[in-house]
Structure formats: C-alpha cells, structure tokens
Structure 1
Amino acid sequence: MKHDLKRGAALLVAASFFTALVNGLQKVTGSTLPVMEIIFFRNLFSFPFVLLIASRTRIVLRTGNPKGHLLRSVFGLTGMIMVVISVTRLPLADQQVMSYTQPLFLVLLAMPLLHETPSPQRWGAVSVGFAGVVVVALGKGVLHGGDASIPAWAYCVALAQGAVGALTTMQIRQLSATESSTTIALWQAMLMTAMTAVPLPFIWVCPHLRDMVCLVAVGAFAGIAQVLQTEAYASAQVSAIGPFAYSGLLWASVIGLFYFDEIPGVAMLAGGALIIGSGIWMLRHERSAKRPAKAGNGMASAEIASR
C-alpha cells in the first residue's frame, strides 16, 4: 500500500482526539456509575464499528487458539478497568502521560517473556521514560503524601495500566502469528462484552439521561477511534506516524482545562516531555534499524487490534 504520511498522521491525530473524548466521558460517568457498567456499554456500542472494520475483509471467527483470545481479552478488560479508575481520580493529562509508559514496559517484559535482548538505545529510552515518571510523581508529591484529593494509589494504577497494555500487545503479537487482526478484534469485542455483562445484574445502577447519552457516546467514540487508527496504520508506516499518537496529551489537556478546570503543572509537562521523548526515540530507532516490512505490518496489526 502507498505510504501517505499526511493522511496517516491526520487520521492518527483524529483517533487520539476521539480517545481523549472517551476518557473525558468516562471521567464524567465514573463518579456515578460502576466501572464494569461503563465498560460494558463501551464494548457494546463500539461493536458495530468493529464489525465495520472486519467487513472490509473476510470475516473469520474460526480459531485454533481460544485460550489465547480469552487471555488477550482478560488483559484488555483489566486495562480498561484501570483506565476508568485512573481517569475518574486523576487529571486527564496526568492519566494520559502515564499511559505512554506502555512502550517502556514492552521493552522490559520482552526480556523474560519473549527472550529479547534490548539494544543500548532502547535501554537509554527506557531510562529516560521512567525518569519522566519520577518527575511527574515528585511534582505531584506522590512520594511524600501529596494532595489528599488525588490519591497516590491512583497514579500507581495508571502506571500499572501501561504494564497491562504492554502484556496485551505481546499477547496480540503472539496471536497474530496464526490469526488475522480482524479475527482478534472480533473475539475481543465479543468476549469483553460478555465478561462485563455477567456482573451487570448485581452492580446495575440505572443511568440518568445524561449518563446514558455519555455511555452511548463512549462506545461510539471508541469505535470511531478504532476505525481512524486502523485507517491511519493502513495509510503509512507505524514508525513514521507513531509520534502523532502523542497528540493525545494535547487533547487531554484541552478537555481537562475547559471541562474539568484542570491546569497541567510544570512537573507533569516536564515529565510528559521525557516520557513522550523516550517513545519517539524508540520509534525512530526502530525505523533506522530498517526492520522488514512484514514485521512492521505485524506490529501495526497488533496495535490496531489492541484498541
């Protein structure tokens, strides 16, 4: 497929915008509705968009690895729970910055799980990235009490979500060896909807009209973001447009400022710059390493299916 950098970058920026909207709406509903109820509606209302993506190719549900799909869905559901918990309690920009640690955890977890040996460049990027995490933590006073209105454990949950996201990506890469990205996405949507439906009768809180509108929008915007991201990675190389995904920090900051009166602090901006810089460093290193096109496409499929 022709490499169209401008189109890919524009689509990825748009996908990041809709993802930020999803987090903002989850923050609104998270104060009144149970986490699992929010995630159920997110998966339910995003399912039509998953079908839209899958319909562009031959839809295949048959799989020889049901346990792999189940494990991937458990990781994905755990990550979604962590996102809702953290966005409900943290400023949107802070949660967004913590989510960018996923590539750093991917490098660390690849050693024991995939038996990979990181290059010196990757080690340098990981060191810089986690230095950014420390800067954010120190700026918020997390390491010495901090603001009582923002619990320190919420930052730990946001950071742990980066590790869970890395595990999810690794599981998808393993599934991609035998499964198509659309098959992975369809099984994810079905399993996660089913898993969140099970506890629903026991935790159900009847949403008010505003909350119901937000829940529908959460699912629709999550689905739109997935479609846009799929189109972005189909339009251009991942290593070329990957840095544009960090525009999510801008959108999260704008939404947090104008809707939740959240003003990003100097420490958050400085730490975010270090974390984002480390991610861009790794992307550029991957590009300069001139990995085979087939490997790059597999990585793109994993990232697409992980959303």
Structure 2
Amino acid sequence: MKHDLKRGALLLASATFFTAALNALQKLTGSSLPALEIIFFRNLFSLPFVLLIASRTGIILKTHHFGGHVLRSVVGLISMIMVVITVTRLPLAEQQVLSYTQPLFLVLLSIPLLHERPSLQRWIAVSIGFSGVIVVALGKGLLHGAGGAVPSWAYFVALAQGAVGALTTMQIRQLSATEASTTIALWQAILMTLMTALPLPFIWTTPGMTEAACLVAVGAFAGIAQVLQTEAFASAQVSAIGPFAYSGLLWAALIGWFGFGEIPGIAMVTGGLLIIGSGVWMLRHDRPAKQKAVAEGTMDAATGTPP
C-alpha cells in the first residue's frame, strides 16, 4: 500500500465533517420524526454508496456466518438509535466527545470477548479517558442531580452508545476473520434497511418537504462519509492518520455553535481533551508494536527463519 499521509488525513477529516453534518440533520429531524424512520432513510440512501465501494473489489454476498451478520446489524441498529436519541437532546459537541469513549470500551471488552491482556499503557489511557467523562459530567452537574435543561439520562445513553459502538467494532473484527470487509458492509446496509422497514407502517410520520430533503441528505452524507473513510484507510496507515478522526469534535462544535447556538463550556473542552488524548495515546502506543512485528518478519524472511 502506498503511504500518503496528507491524502489519508484530508480524506479522514472530510469523513468526520460529513458525519458531524448528518448528526446535525438527525438533530433537526429527530424532534418530529421517529428514530427508526430516520435510520431507515439513512440506510436506504447510503446503500448506493456501499455498493459503489463493494463494486471496486467485487460484490460478494455469499457468507457462512449469516447469523453473525444479523447479530452485528442488530447491535449496530441499537447504536444508531442511541445516536439519534442523544443528538436530539444533547449539544452536538458533547454527544460527539462522549462517542469518543468507544476505544476505551474496546479495551475493556477485549478482555472477556477476545481474551486479551491490555498493557499498562492501555490501562493508563483508559483511566485518563474516563476521567475526562467525569469532568464532562461534573461540568453539567450530573453527579449532583442538576442536569439543567438537558435530561441527565441522555448523557448516560451517550456514554452507553460508546460501549455499544465498541461491541459492533468487536463483532466486525470477529467477522473479518473469514468475511471480506465489503461483504460485512453490504449485509449491514441491507439488513438494517429491512429491519427498520418492518415497523415503518406502524410508526410512520409523513415528513414535510424540508424534513424529506434532510432525510435524503442524511443517507447521502452517511454514504459519502463511508466512502471517504474507506479511501482514507486505503491511503495511509491507521496508526498514522487515526488521530485525525478526532477532528469530528471541531466540526460538531462549529456546527453546534453556528447552527444551534450551542457554545461549548470549559468542562466539555477539558474533558474532551482528556478523552481524545487517551485515544491518541492508544493509537501511538500501537505503532511501535506493529513496526517491531514488521521488522521481525522482515528479518525472519532474510534469514530464512519461519516467523
């Protein structure tokens, strides 16, 4: 793979912009339309973009782990519902920063599910990250029962969404051992569209012209974000461009500020820096181990020793 850091970073930052934009549109429509209806259109209109990605390497739907795809789609659907619920009630920047707890939960879930033993550096990073969550909570008075105009439970749902998002990542890891990434993406898009279509007749709320345009844009932005992210990770190493994924907080803060009048507070900024810092630390910590593995593999190849 040709390593183009500048191109990969630009593409990943652009992907986070479209993700922040679709969250803003979900915030606009979430107050008047059911979450499942929004998610249906998100998956429906993003499907052409998923097909575009898959067509580059070949569209393969054949699988020996259909049950795994169903379970992954159910968990992914729960995560999407939680996102719509939280962006509707929380400032965009706060929802975004709490979603960055996903790598922290990924470390915790790797112990019982993958039987991994996290290093001391990872445990320190997790501790720093969750201290950032406490700072955000203290800033809103949640630990003292004074959540203000925003319901306290919305913050806990946003935090839980980080855990559910980590679980979906874990499921993708397990499926990718035998399934192509495009196959996983295709089944996710198809199954989520079907799952949300089933209850649609019972929850349907006819959108207005503006809402309908927002729903189409939500799906298009989700698809564009996925294409950009795929191209980004195809352009450069994940450990090198991974930190640019946190640029989503900047986009969310700017859109929230100018679009909804949401001004980030000191506690949110401080807590966000702690959470993002822990995530970047874990990404940087992974790089030396990978480089060492590559170097050892190269040396083994040169000496004729099997790795």
Counterpart-to-counterpart distance in 2, 1:50 and 1:211: 24
Q: Once the 2 structures are TM-superposed, how far is the Cα of residue 143 of structure 1 from its aligned partner?
A: 1.1
Counterpart-to-counterpart distance in 2, 1:232 and 1:41: 25
TM-score, normalised to structure 1, is 0.94
Secondary structure in structure 2 of the residue aligned to 1:290: helix
Contact 2:140 2:148 in 1 (8 A): no
Counterpart-to-counterpart distance in 1, 2:293 and 2:216: 38
Q: 1:29-55, CA deviations, whole angstroms, 9 ceiling, x for partnerless residues?
A: 000000000000000000000000000
Q: Once the 2 structures are TM-superposed, how far is the Cα of residue 58 of structure 1 from its aligned partner?
A: 1.2
> What is the 5 A alignment of 1:31-70?
31-70=31-70
Which segments of 5 or more consecutive residues in structure 1 lack a partner in the other structure?
Answer: 295-307
Aligned residues: 294
Look up the equivalent residue of 2:202 and give its one-letter code.
F
Counterpart-to-counterpart distance in 2, 1:125 and 1:141: 25
Look up the equivalent residue of 1:6 and give its one-letter code.
K
Counterpart-to-counterpart distance in 2, 1:254 and 1:175: 36
Partner of residue 209, structure 2: 209
Counterpart-to-counterpart distance in 2, 1:205 and 1:270: 40
* Alpha-carbon distance change, 15 to 292 in structure 1, aligned in 2, over 3 angstroms: farther
Q: Once the 2 structures are TM-superposed, how far is the Cα of residue 149 of structure 1 from its aligned partner?
A: 1.4
Q: Once the 2 structures are TM-superposed, how far is the Cα of residue 68 of structure 1 from its aligned partner?
A: 0.5
TM-score, normalised to structure 2, is 0.94
Alignment of 1:106 onto 2:106: yes
Contact 2:243 2:280 in 1 (8 A): yes
Alignment of 1:79 onto 2:79: yes
Counterpart-to-counterpart distance in 2, 1:132 and 1:145: 19
Q: Once the 2 structures are TM-superposed, how far is the Cα of residue 291 of structure 1 from its aligned partner?
A: 5.6
Partner of residue 200, structure 1: 200
Partner of residue 180, structure 2: 180
Percentage of matched positions with identical amino acids: 76
Partner of residue 301, structure 2: none
Counterpart-to-counterpart distance in 1, 2:256 and 2:18: 14
Counterpart-to-counterpart distance in 2, 1:215 and 1:290: 41
Look up the equivalent residue of 1:149 and give its one-letter code.
A
> What is the 5 A alignment of 1:120-131?
120-131=120-131
Q: 1:267-288, CA deviations, whole angstroms, 9 ceiling, x for partnerless residues?
A: 0000000000000000000011
Larger Rg: 2
Contact 2:97 2:272 in 1 (8 A): yes
Partner of residue 302, structure 2: none
Q: Once the 2 structures are TM-superposed, how far is the Cα of residue 144 of structure 1 from its aligned partner?
A: 1.3
Q: 1:117-143, CA deviations, whole angstroms, 9 ceiling, x for partnerless residues?
A: 000000000000000000000001111
Partner of residue 282, structure 1: 282
